[in-house]
Structures are given as structure tokens and as C-alpha cells.
A and B are shown apart, each in its own frame.
Chain A
Amino acid sequence: MEEHVLDVKNLVKFYKGLGGLKKVLAVDQLSLSVKKGEVYGILGPNGSGKTTLMKLIMGLLFPSKGQIKIFGSSVKKLSIKKRIGFLPEEAYLYRFLSAEETLKFFAELADVPRREQKTRIADALHVVGLFEARKRPSRTYSKGMSRRLGLAQILIKDPDFVVLDEPTVGLDPIGSREIKEIILGLKERGKTVLFSSHLLSEVEMVCDRIGIMHKGKLVLTGHLNELLLRKNEYSLVLEGFDIGRQSELEQVLQKSFHAKVISVNRSRETMEDVFIKTIKKHAS
């Protein structure tokens, strides 16, 4: 049996209005599970309840009904938190601390042995590209730098389960790509990742499974391949093909394989790839 890192059952969350009278339903009978080693993406439009779900999972908010188990235990259990890393919607940092001091503080909380702290902090700063700016107070950081420092605190903790709430929001394509690469790196190291986003391409690039939230409900869930791949439809990528001979190709495919050509398009780069290639070229 596959080990479930996260198990959410029939989760309901009401927000009380003024005077506790008017209730707003933020999460509605939501159930989901995340298996060990997978990257699970929660997709949804703004206001669909993604952030509330993340806060409930992290124990910042309390469920009105239902239950949440992480590694089989309640998140209220402090020992469980040793195995969880969290990056909120914005990396809310202590503005008076530098990156190095921030990571030292979090290393203390994560119980990283003192003799290892220096190396782990330096490594994490190198990975997120903040080593040069490590002595600057975090109030002077751009949004992207703050976000990367937020990710660095997860790296020094080295948790088994990582929860990221809109990790690339507000970042430029390069910052966004770097964060996606960090998430893929976490996956390669066998970590389980749950992250929310409203950017479809981002989820497509890094997730194994996704869940779509709408008005507090999980309206669709499944493996990315199951959801995106069309039955009995394949794309053939050709190099050096003469487009003038398209009809010949169609005939061959029809005659020999009984396959019908639905469309022929020129391969395209994504705008993100073009942008990153251009910037990298000029930077070098």
C-alpha cells in the first residue's frame, strides 16, 4: 500500500462574519490525499479557497468540520512539523534581519545542529542565488528575492513534505522558472510537494496529479496524463520535412496505418523559453 503523506477528509471551513453571525463557506466537504514522492497541484481561480486550504493543512486555521492528517498524525503535533516545510502566499520575512540571520533563526527552530548550520545556510543561499546578498537586510529585497529566501528556509529544514502556496506569484519568468526547477529538484530527491497556483502552465510543468478547486470544492482531481492526454491522438514531430509534401504524408499514413491527420502545425517555442533564452544570452 502506498503511503499517504497527506489525508484530508470531508474538510469544511466557515469564516465567521462580524459578530459571528454571517458565515462564509471557504472550503466545502473537501477530501484529497497526496502520496509519498508526488507533486500535487491545487488549481483554482482567485477566491476558490486554495490559500484557506493551505492554512488549514498547516494548522494556522482550524477546520469547522472534517479532519486533516499529515504522516498519519494531526498537524497540531509539534514533532510532525519537523517533516513539513511551508512557503506562504508571500514570503513574510523579518524585515530587520538579513538573509543569513533569517536562515540562522529558522535553522535554530528546525533543530539543525549548530556545527551544520553554517554549511546548510551557505548551500541554501547558493541554491536560491542569494549568497551575494546574504548580509543585506531583507527589507531591501525585491519580491523575487524574498520569495527565494522563503524557499531557502525550506531547503535548510530539508522536510519530507513541502507545502507551497502560489510559489511563483508576482515573479518574473526567470524567477518563476528557477522556482519550478527547485520544485522539480525537490521531487527528484523524493520529497512530496503540494502546491497551489492559478497558473495552468506552471502546474502542467511540475505536477504529477492535480486538483481543481472552485468555490471551496474540489471539483476535479486526477493524474495530469489522465486529464490532458486525448485518447488515440498522437503528435508527430518532424525535422527537415517539406511542407509542400503534406498530402503525400497524409496518404502514406492513411494507407499504411489507417491514421487520419487532424492538423499540421509548425512547432513553436513557448514565450517563456524565448524570454529565458534571450535574457541568458545577453547575460552571458
Chain B
Amino acid sequence: MKAMKNIWAIIVLTMTNLLRSRVYLGLVFFMLLMLAASQLFSYFTFEEEIKIVMDVGLAGLTMMGLLTAVFTTAWSLPTDLEQKTLFMVLSYPVSKTQILLGKFISCSLSVLCNLFFMGVMFWVLVLFKLQDKGVDFQYLSMQLGKTFILIAMESIVSVGILLLMSIYFTPVINIVMFLFIFILGHAAGMIEVAIIKTEFIFFSVIRFLFIFIPDLTYFNIRDAVVLNQVVSWHYVEWAVLYGGLYTGLMVALSCYLFEKKEIV
């Protein structure tokens, strides 16, 4: 009960910080700009226009999720470590694990809130654009819903990775390393095929690394949705399970390492 109270106090603190920071407000502004941009393509044919609106809008959502994950998580713990605010916090009956869980939950919540509002706005705009065009709204909403869920999952996986690295690295190094992981994660399928075909020792190392790098291609169903291909709920469930397990592992590892870390 006390642990939950502590985690809640850290969540409230982190959310207050995010809501009062200009970076977060900048992200919200960027989010609105991306939505507006997806509505500018009105000079194409109807088919092309829908594809472009969906493509740009969903890419914007993904980017928004990632940017929120990066700007909330990469700075959160390092700022507390650098400004030494944890000195006083840790003199209270609160564990480092509780602090980290509070940070993870608040960063994830801010990502989900941003994605939720942007997702709803995007959905309303798409429906508005497609009204009277004979489109099956229920089917389209379902497809968009699946895409939103997987974009949210990918962003939460990103929060988990960024949180783990933020224990040891400064925000800039953390972001650079995360981008590297993100790119590798999206090229996981292609790289693995290339690795299987070669015996080179260098590729064996990369193959070993891929045990730890998440396969982010599982969460990318944007192309399938834009091209009107069916994505089953079964697939979404498995991808969410994979993301959840990977994130859980990252958070558990973060808590373990943070407990072992000295606060200098």
C-alpha cells in the first residue's frame, strides 16, 4: 500500500514537471502541426489523397509517440541525478525501484495521452474526409484502432529502452543510442536474413546483439492498413504480448541496475 502511495507521488511529480515544461508544450504544438499537414493533400485524386492522408497521419502519430517517449524519458531520471534532487527523496522511505516505476508509468501515460488525443483527432478528420464516399467506417475504424494500439506499444517499448539507458547515460548519448537501436529494430528482419546467409564472425556478433534488440517491425502495420490489407486481432495480440514482455524485461532490468547504482 505504501509502495503504491510512493509510486503515485512520483507519478504526480513527474507529470507536473512534464505539464509545466516547454518541451512538452512544443510537442503538443508539433502534434497539431502534423495533423494539419496530413490535411493539405487535397489536389490528388480521391484514392491517392486517402492513401497520403493515412500515410502521413499514421507516420505523424508514430513520430509523435517516439518524440514524446524520447523527450519525457531521456531527460527524466538524468535530470534528477544531475540536479541531485534524489538525495532528499531517497532519505524518505521510498525505494529506487519505486522511483523508477513511477517514472516509467508517468512517461508511458504521457505518451498514451498524447497518442490518444492525436489518434482521436486523426480518426475524426479521416472520417470527416471520407463521409459520403461509400467507405465502410466500422472496418476502417477497426484498422485504425489496431494501428493506434501497435504505435502505442512501440512507444512504450521505446520508453522502456530509454529508461534503462537513462540510468547510465546523459540524455544526448541516450538519444543517439536509442536511435541506433530504433533503426536496427526496424531493419531487424532484413538484417537477420543477411546474417543467416553469412558465416562471418562480425555477423555472429551482430546476431548476438539482436537477441537484445527488439524487433520493431512487429509494430509496423501502417503500410498494410494504408494498402487496405487485413491485419488480424490475433496478430495485434501477439505483437502487444511481445512488446509487453520486452518492456517488462527492460523495466525489471532497469530497477535491478538502479538499485545497484550509487547516487553520487
Chain A residues proximal to chain B, CB less than 8 Å: 55, 58-62, 78-79, 81-82, 84-88, 90-97, 101, 105-106, 108-111, 150, 153, 157, 163
Contact = CB atoms under 8 A, between A and B. Distances in A.
Nearest to A80: B93
B196 interface: no
Contacts of A85: 91
Given A106-B88, A111-B5, 18 more contacts: A58-B87, A58-B91, A60-B87, A60-B90, A60-B263, A61-B262, A79-B93, A81-B91, A82-B93, A86-B88, A86-B91, A88-B84, A88-B88, A92-B87, A96-B21, A106-B92, A109-B94, A157-B92
14 contacts: A58-B91, A61-B262, A61-B264, A78-B94, A81-B94, A82-B93, A84-B91, A86-B88, A87-B88, A88-B87, A91-B88, A94-B13, A96-B16, A111-B93
Contacts of B89: 109
Given A61-B263, A61-B264, A105-B13, A90 B92 contact: no
A150 B88 contact: yes
A84 B12 CA distance: 24
Q: How large is the interface on B (under 10, 10 to 19, 20 to 34, 35 or more residues)?
A: 20 to 34
A150 B2 CA distance: 23
Contact of A97 (B16, B21, B88, B95): B16
Contacts of B264: 55, 60-61
B6 interface: yes
A101 B90 CA distance: 18
Contacts of B9: 105, 108-109
A109 B87 contact: no
Contacts of A84: 91
A78 to B, nearest CB: 4
Given A60-B262, A81-B92, A109-B9, A90 B17 contact: no
A111 B91 CA distance: 13
Nearest to A153: B88
A91 B2 CA distance: 25
B93 A109 contact: yes
Interface string B61-105: 000000000000000000000011101111111110000000000
A101 B17 CA distance: 12
Contacts of A153: 88
Interface in B133-166: none
Nearest to A137: B20
Contacts of A59: 90
Given A96-B16, A105-B13, A58 B92 contact: no
Given A105-B9, A109-B6, A150-B88, A78 B95 contact: yes
Contacts of B90: 58-60
Most buried by B among A61, A85, A87, A92: A92
A84 B94 CA distance: 12
A114 to B, nearest CB: 11
Nearest to A150: B88
Most buried by A among B13, B17, B263, B264: B13
B13 A92 contact: no
Shortest Cβ-Cβ A-B pairs, 4 listed? A86-B91, A109-B92, A92-B84, A108-B9
Given A96-B17, A96-B20, A110 B88 contact: no
Contacts of B263: 55, 60-61
A59 B16 CA distance: 28
Nearest to B95: A78
Contacts of B5: 108, 111
A94 B17 CA distance: 9
A215 B93 CA distance: 32
Contact of A78 (B83, B84, B93, B262): B93
Contact of B92 (A55, A87, A92, A110): A110
A149 to B, nearest CB: 10
